[in-house]
Amino acid sequence: MTLAELAVGQHATIQTVGGEGPLRLRFLDMGLIPHTKVSVIKVAPMGDPIEIRIRGYELTLRKEDAAQIEITQD
């Protein structure tokens, strides 16, 4: 399952972070690292982007980017 598939209000744990080169490094710099808890706070009216809560702050991601982050639902 990917972060893009998680519904509003659901919680999960990041398993792997995909992407290549600078994109993967950007994910890691934003705190999207394996074994981190994450939850979906909001989804934009058209479904993209999504707002997540991770490590005590809110982060907005495009669904295309969120689809590269593998999770396991809690």
Where are the chain's structural domains?
A: 3-73
* CA distances to 11, 21, 59, 66 from 50, in Å: 14, 23, 8, 8
Specify the pLDDT at position 47: 85
pLDDT single digits (tens) 7-25: 999 999 999 999 888 999 9
In this structure, whether the domain defined by 3-73 belongs to CATH 3.40.50.1820 is answered with: no
pLDDT single digits (tens) 30-46: 999 999 999 999 999 98
Specify the pLDDT at position 19: 83
DSSP one-letter code for 49: S
Specify the pLDDT at position 74: 82
pLDDT single digits (tens) 58-72: 999 999 999 999 999
User: How many CA atoms lie within 13 Å of 51's alpha carbon, on the beta-carbon side?
Assistant: 8
Would you state the structure tokens that stand for residue 48, as one six-digit string?
């993209």
* CA distances to 21, 30 from 38, in Å: 23, 12
Q: Once rounded to an integer, what is the mean pLDDT over residues 41-56? A: 93
Distance (Å, whole) CA 57 – CA 46: 23
